[in-house]
Amino acid sequence: MKIGHRRRFRRLGAITAALAASSLILAGCGGSGGDNGSAGSGAKASPQALDAALKKGGTITYWSWTPSAEAQVKAFTDEYPNVKVNYVNAGTGNDHYKKLQNAIKAGSGAPDVAQIEYQALPQFALPGSLVDLSAYGLDSLESDYTPSTWAAVHVGDGLYGLPQDSGPMAMFYNKDVFDKYHLTVPKTWDEYIAVAKKLHQADPTKFITDDPGDPGFATSMIWQAGGKPFTTDGKKVTINFQDDGSKKWTSVWNQLVGDGSIGQIAGWTDEWYKALGDGTIATMNIGAWMPGVFESSVPGGAGKWRVAPMPTYDGQPATAENGGSTESVLKQSKNPALAAAFVRWLNNGNGIKPFLEKGGFPATVKDLNDPSFVNKPDPYFGGQPVNQVLTAAAKSVVPGWSYLPYELYANNIFGDTVGKSYLAKSDLNAGLESWQNALVKYGNEQGFEVNK
Amino acid sequence: MSALHTVSNRRRWWSHREIRGWAFVAPFLVVFALVFLAPIGYAFYLSLYREQAFFGGNTFVGAANYVDVVTDARFWDGAVRVLEFFAIQVPIMLGLALVAALAIDSGRLRAPRTFRLVIFLPYAVPGVVAVLLWGYLYGTNFGLAGDVNDLLGTAIRPLSERWMLTSIVNIVTWEFVGYNMLIFYSALRTVPEDLYEAAALDGAGPLRTVFSVKIPAIRGAIVIATIFSIIGSFQLFNEPNILRNLAPNLIDTHYTPNMYAYNLSFGGQQYNYSATVAIVMGVITAIIAYVVQLRGSREAL
CA separation for the pair A131, B1 (Å, rounded):
73
Give CA A126 to chain center in angstroms: 18
pLDDT digits (tens, 9 = 90+) for B125-162: 999 999 999 999 998 877 889 888 888 988 888 999 89
ipTM: 0.85
Looking at the structure, tell me whether residues A192 and A335 fall in a common domain: no
Q: A16 contacts in B (CB within 8 Å)?
A: 39-40, 42-43, 275, 278
A-facing residues of B in 129-148 (CB < 8 A) are 136, 139, 141-143
Q: A7 contacts in B (CB within 8 Å)?
A: 127
| Vertex A228 angle, CA A224 and A231, to 5° | 145
CA separation for the pair A149, A287 (Å, rounded):
13
The H-or-E segment that residue A10 falls in is helix A2-28
Lowest mean pLDDT among A190-199, A276-285, B6-15, B111-120: B6-15
Q: B55 contacts in A (CB within 8 Å)?
A: 127, 235, 447-448
Looking at the structure, tell me whether residues A267 and A213 fall in a common domain: yes
Please list the alpha-helical segments (H only) found in A334-406: 336-348, 352-357, 365-368, 371-374, 386-394
CATH of the domain at A289: 3.40.190.10
Q: Which of B179, B252, B262 sits opposite A3 (nearest CB)?
A: B179
For residue A156, give the 3-state DSSP assignment: coil
CA separation for the pair A178, A184 (Å, rounded):
7
Residue to test with chain A: of B54, B132, B169, most A Cβ within 10 A: B54
B97 touches chain A (CB under 8 A): no
pLDDT-derived band at B5 (thresholds 50, 70, 90) equals low
Mean pLDDT of chain B: 90
Q: B44 contacts in A (CB within 8 Å)?
A: none
Looking at the structure, tell me whether residues A335 and A312 fall in a common domain: no
B-facing residues of A in 361-420 (CB < 8 A) are 405-406, 408-409, 412-413, 415-416, 419-420
Instruction: Write out the residue limits of the CATH 1.10.3720.10 domain(s) in chain B.
Output: 72-300
CA separation for the pair A24, A106 (Å, rounded):
8
Looking at the structure, tell me whether residues A338 and A309 fall in a common domain: no
Looking at the structure, tell me whether residues A60 and A135 fall in a common domain: yes
Per-residue burial over B44-79, b if 16 or more Cβ lie within 10 Å, else e, is eebbbbbbbbbeeeeeebeebbbeebeebebbeebb
Measured between CA atoms, the residue of chain B closest to residue A126 is B54
Domain that holds residue A126: 40-166+323-368
Cβ proximity of A322 and A287 under 8 Å: yes
> Does A417 reside within a domain?
yes
Distance (Å) from the alpha carbon of B201 to chain A's nearest alpha carbon:
37
pLDDT score recorded for residue A39: 40
The H-or-E segment that residue B221 falls in is helix B219-234
Strand residue runs (E) in A107-161? 113-117, 154-155, 158-159
Looking at the structure, tell me whether residues A177 and A198 fall in a common domain: yes
Residue A129 per-residue DSSP state:
-
Looking at the structure, tell me whether residues A316 and A330 fall in a common domain: no
> Does A28 reside within a domain?
no
A28 touches chain B (CB under 8 A): no
CB contact under 8 A, A13 and B35: yes
pTM of the model: 0.86
For residue A62, give the 3-state DSSP assignment: strand
CB contact under 8 A, B249 and A213: yes
Looking at the structure, tell me whether residues A160 and A299 fall in a common domain: no
- Dmax over CA atoms of chain B, in Å, equals 87
Q: A409 contacts in B (CB within 8 Å)?
A: 267-269
Torsion angle (degrees, nearest 10) of CA B148, B152, B154, B160: -10
Residue B63 per-residue DSSP state:
T
Looking at the structure, tell me whether residues A175 and A161 fall in a common domain: no
A92 touches chain B (CB under 8 A): no
Non-local CB neighbours of A50 within 8 Å, separated by 6+ positions = A136, A337, A338, A340, A341, A344
Measured between CA atoms, the residue of chain B closest to residue A206 is B141
Residue B210 per-residue DSSP state:
I
Q: A260 contacts in B (CB within 8 Å)?
A: none
> Does A344 reside within a domain?
yes
> Does A24 reside within a domain?
no
Write down which residue in A368, A403, A428 finishes a domain. A368
Q: A268 contacts in B (CB within 8 Å)?
A: 245
For residue A257, give the 3-state DSSP assignment: helix
Measured between CA atoms, the residue of chain B closest to residue A234 is B55
Residue type, A24: L
pLDDT score recorded for residue B15: 60
In chain A, the N- to C-terminal Cα span, in Å, equals 50
CB contact under 8 A, A447 and B55: yes
B228 touches chain A (CB under 8 A): yes
Looking at the structure, tell me whether residues A161 and A186 fall in a common domain: no
Q: Which of B50, B176, B244 sits opposite A1 (nearest CB)?
A: B176
Distance (Å) from the alpha carbon of B231 to chain A's nearest alpha carbon:
6
Give the closest residue to A155 by CA, choosing from A123, A180, A113: A123
- Give every strand in the sheet of A83-88, ordered side by side: A83-88, A58-63, A113-117, A325-329, A162-163
CA separation for the pair A153, B280 (Å, rounded):
42
Please list the alpha-helical segments (H only) found in A140-299: 147-152, 175-180, 189-202, 215-224, 244-258, 270-277, 290-297
Measured between CA atoms, the residue of chain B closest to residue A24 is B42
Please list the alpha-helical segments (H only) found in A91-158: 94-106, 121-125, 147-152
Q: Into how many domains does chain A fold?
A: 2
CA separation for the pair B105, B102 (Å, rounded):
5
CB contact under 8 A, B271 and A23: yes
B237 touches chain A (CB under 8 A): yes
CA separation for the pair A149, A129 (Å, rounded):
21
pLDDT score recorded for residue B9: 53
B258 touches chain A (CB under 8 A): yes
Say whether pLDDT at B298 is over 70: no
B271 touches chain A (CB under 8 A): yes
- Kindly give the parts of chain A with pLDDT less than 50: 1-43
CB contact under 8 A, B249 and A412: no
Looking at the structure, tell me whether residues A306 and A419 fall in a common domain: yes
CB contact under 8 A, B43 and A16: yes
Give the closest residue to A53 by CA, choosing from A336, A350, A351, A327: A336
Looking at the structure, tell me whether residues A311 and A329 fall in a common domain: no
CA separation for the pair A86, A336 (Å, rounded):
15
Alpha carbons within 13 angstroms on the beta-carbon side of residue A185 total 15
B178 touches chain A (CB under 8 A): no
Residue type, A82: N
Torsion angle (degrees, nearest 10) of CA A126, A127, A129, A134: 40
Lowest mean pLDDT among A201-210, A386-395, B89-98, B106-115: B106-115
Distance (Å) from the alpha carbon of B173 to chain A's nearest alpha carbon:
9
CB contact under 8 A, B269 and A127: no
pLDDT score recorded for residue B20: 84
Superfamily of domain B72-300: MetI-like (1.10.3720.10)
CA separation for the pair A223, A212 (Å, rounded):
19
For residue A407, give the 3-state DSSP assignment: helix
| Beta pairing, strands A325-329 & A449-450 | unpaired
Distance (Å) from the alpha carbon of B36 to chain A's nearest alpha carbon:
7
B-facing residues of A in 419-438 (CB < 8 A) are 419-420, 422-423
Q: B263 contacts in A (CB within 8 Å)?
A: 412
> Does A373 reside within a domain?
no
CB contact under 8 A, B141 and A265: yes
> Does A14 reside within a domain?
no
Size of interface A-B (CB pairs under 8 A): 145
